[in-house]
Structure 1
Amino acid sequence: MIVVMRPDHSPEQVQAVMDRLVQFGLQGQPIRGVEREVIAGLGQVLQEHRDEILMMPGVDEVIRVSKPYKLSSREVHPRDTIVELPYGVKVGGGRPVFMAGPCAIESEDQLMAAARGVRKAGAHVLRGGAFKPRSSPYSFQGLGLDALKLLRTAGDEVGMPVITECLSERDVEACAQYSDVLHIGARNMQNFVLLQEAGKTGKPVLLKRGMSATIEEWLLASEYVMSQNNPNLIL
C-alpha cells in the first residue's frame, strides 16, 4: 500500500506511521516526491491495516497497489525518475545518455585513448569492464581492482562519471568505491543477493533485462535494489 501524507505533515507523524507499519509486520519506506511525501508499506497488507493507517494524524489517503512490483510501479512513482550523476550528468527526463568505453580494460594506454575518444564523440558516461563474465574459464577475466583504479582516474581526467559491471556480491564494495554507477548485467538480473548488496551502497544501479526475462520479472528484480532504500535505479 501507499500512504500519502498531508502537505502539512510533521516528521513525527511520518515516524509514527513507520512504527505502526513495523507493528503490522510490514516494511515502511519513505519516498519524498516533488509535491508530496508518501510511505510505501511493503509486505502482506490487510484491509484492517489500511483502515487503521488512514485514521492516523498527518495521513491524507491510503492507496492499494495492485501490481506485484511496488516501488517501481507508477502508483508509487507517477513521475519519471531522474538519476543524477557526477559532472552534471542526468539519466532520465527524455534526453538520451550515452555510455561508452572498452568492454574490458586491458591497460592504462588503451583506457585513456578510449576515454578521450568517447568523450570527443559525445558520450556522457565512461564504461569499462574490470570483472568479465566469460563463457570460457580460460578467457581473459579482467584486471579486477587495478582496472577499477584506472577507470576512476580516467573518468576524472576527462570529466566523466564512470560505470562498471559487478559480477558478484564480493565485488560490490570495490565497485562502489571507484565507480559512480554499478552495472548488473543480464546474466545476473535474478542474482537477488547481488541486487540487494548493490542497493545497499546507495549508488545508482543500472539493471539490464535478462535474456529470457519478462517485463514483470525485470521489474520485480528491480525491487531488490529499491527495497534497500535506493531509488537510484536505471533500467
Structure 2
Amino acid sequence: MIVVLKGGSTAEQVREISERLVEFGYQVNPIFGVEKTVIGAVGGSEHTKVDFIDQLKAYDSVEDVVLITKPYKFVAKEYNKGEKSRIDLGGGVIIGGDEVVMMAGPCTVESEEGLFKTAERVAAAGAKILRGGAYKPCTSPYSYQGMGTDGLKLLRAAADKYGLKVVTEVMHVRKVEEVAEYADILQIGTRNMQNYDLLTEVGRCRTAVMLKRGMTAKLEEWLLAAEYIAAGGNERIMLCERGIRTFEPYTRNTLDLSAIPALNSLSHLPVIVDPSQGTGRRELVAPMSKAAVAVGADGLIIEVHPNPDHAIKDGAQSITIETFEKLMPELGAIANAIGRNLVENIRRLPALG
C-alpha cells in the first residue's frame, strides 16, 4: 500500500506512521517530496488490510491510503503516483525525461583503438552512454568471454574522454562491486533476469540498473524481477526490452514493441529498447529503432562497430558508425513528432578516416 501524508507533515508524524506500519508487519520506504511525503509499505497480512487502512486514515497527518493489488509493489505505476521515474546519471543525462537517451557501442570491448574510435563518433552524433561488454555471457564455453577488468578500464577511459556514461553487464554477485566502480549503469542480461541472488545484490548498491527481459519472460515475471532490486533499496531501475524467443527463425529474437506501452501503463520505470539483440539483423536495427521511439521508448541501446564484418561477437546485428550517424537525425524527427526530443550532432563530426 501507499500512505500519502498531507503537505507540511513533520518528521515526527512520518516516523509515527512508519512505526505503526512496522507493527503490522510492513516493510516501509518513505519518499520525501517537495510538497508531500508518501510511505510505500510492502507485506502485512491480507485479511487485516481493510481494517488497518481505516485506522491509518484516522491519523490527522494522513491524506489518503492507496492499496496496490499487483504482486509487485515498488515498481508499480501507482507507487510513484502515476508518474514516470527519472534516473539522473549526472552531467545532464536523465533517463525517463523528455529526451530519448541513446546508448551505443560495440557488443564486446575488443581493442582500445576500436573502442575509442567508436566512442568518439557516437558521442559526436549525440549518444550519451557508451555500451560495451567487458564480461560476456556465451552459450559456448569456448567463445570469447571478454577482456574483464581491462575492458572495464577501457570503457571508463573512453567514456570520460568523450563525455559519455557507461553501461556494461555484470554477471555474478562477486563482480557487482568491481563493475560498479567503472559503470554508471549495471546491465543484468537476459540469462540473469531471474538470478535472484544477483538481483538482490544489485539492489543493495545505488548504481543504476538496466534489467533486460528474459527471453521467455512474461511482463509480470519481468516486473517481479525488478521488484527484487527495488525491495533491496535501489530504485534506480530501467527495463530493457531485448526481444523474446518465438517460433520465428528469421530473426534472432522477436522484438516485442507492444511491451513498451504496456510497461508504461503498468510501471513507473523507464523503458529501454535493444533493437540489435531484438532482431539479430543489422538491416532491421534502424526501422525497429524508429518504431521503438514512436511507441514510447525512453532510450535505445544499439550495437555500433567500426567494422561489423570483422567483429569478434555479434557482427551480424551491429551497425556501422556511419549508419548510426545517419540514423540519429531520423530518430530525432520521430521524437519531435511525439513531443519528445533526441539530441543529435551535438559536436562537430570528425573527418572520416
Contact 1:3 1:40 in 2 (8 A): yes
Q: Which residue number corresponds to residue 4 of structure 2? A: 4
Which residue identity lines up with residue 204 of structure 2 in the other structure?
K
1:17 equivalent in alignment to 2:17: yes
> Residue 57 of structure 1: CA displacement?
4.5
TM-score, normalised by the number of residues in structure 1: 0.94
Partner residue of 1:99 out of 103, 123, 137: 103
Q: Which residue number corresponds to residue 66 of structure 2? A: 63
Contact 1:86 1:160 in 2 (8 A): no
Instruction: Write the deviation string for residues 30-69 of structure 1: whole angstroms up to 9, x where unpaired.
Output: 1234542211110134223323333335222211111111
Q: Which residue number corresponds to residue 52 of structure 1? A: 55
1:232 equivalent in alignment to 2:206: no
Instruction: Write the deviation string for residues 132-152 of structure 1: whole angstroms up to 9, x where unpaired.
Output: 001111111111112111111
Which residue identity lines up with residue 20 of structure 1 in the other structure?
R
SS at match of 2:64: strand
Partner residue of 1:76 out of 74, 79, 98: 79
Q: Supply the distance in 1 between the matched residues of 2:179 and 2:18 (Cα, whole angstroms).
A: 32
Runs (5+) with no aligned partner, structure 2: 240-353
Contact 1:100 1:127 in 2 (8 A): yes
SS at match of 1:131: coil
Which residue identity lines up with residue 192 of structure 1 in the other structure?
Y
Question: Matched residue pairs, number?
Answer: 235
SS at match of 2:8: coil
Contact 1:162 1:181 in 2 (8 A): yes
Q: How large is the Cα RMSD of the aligned pairs?
A: 1.5
Which residue identity lines up with residue 51 of structure 1 in the other structure?
D
Once the two structures are aligned, what percentage of the paired residues are identical? 47
> Residue 98 of structure 1: CA displacement?
1.0
> Residue 86 of structure 1: CA displacement?
2.6
Runs (5+) with no aligned partner, structure 1: none
SS at match of 1:222: helix
Q: Which residue number corresponds to residue 136 of structure 1? A: 140
Where do residues 177-192 of structure 1 align in structure 2 (5 Å cutoff)? 177-192=181-196
Contact 2:105 2:130 in 1 (8 A): yes
Q: Supply the distance in 1 between the matched residues of 2:113 and 2:90 (Cα, whole angstroms).
A: 24
SS at match of 1:164: strand
Q: Supply the distance in 1 between the matched residues of 2:136 and 2:34 (Cα, whole angstroms).
A: 39
Structure showing greater radius of gyration is 2
Q: Which residue number corresponds to residue 210 of structure 1? A: 214
Contact 1:182 1:203 in 2 (8 A): yes
TM-score, normalised by the number of residues in structure 2: 0.64
Q: Supply the distance in 1 between the matched residues of 2:32 and 2:193 (Cα, whole angstroms).
A: 27
> Residue 87 of structure 1: CA displacement?
2.2
Which residue identity lines up with residue 231 of structure 1 in the other structure?
E
Which residue identity lines up with residue 109 of structure 1 in the other structure?
E
Which residue identity lines up with residue 39 of structure 2 in the other structure?
I
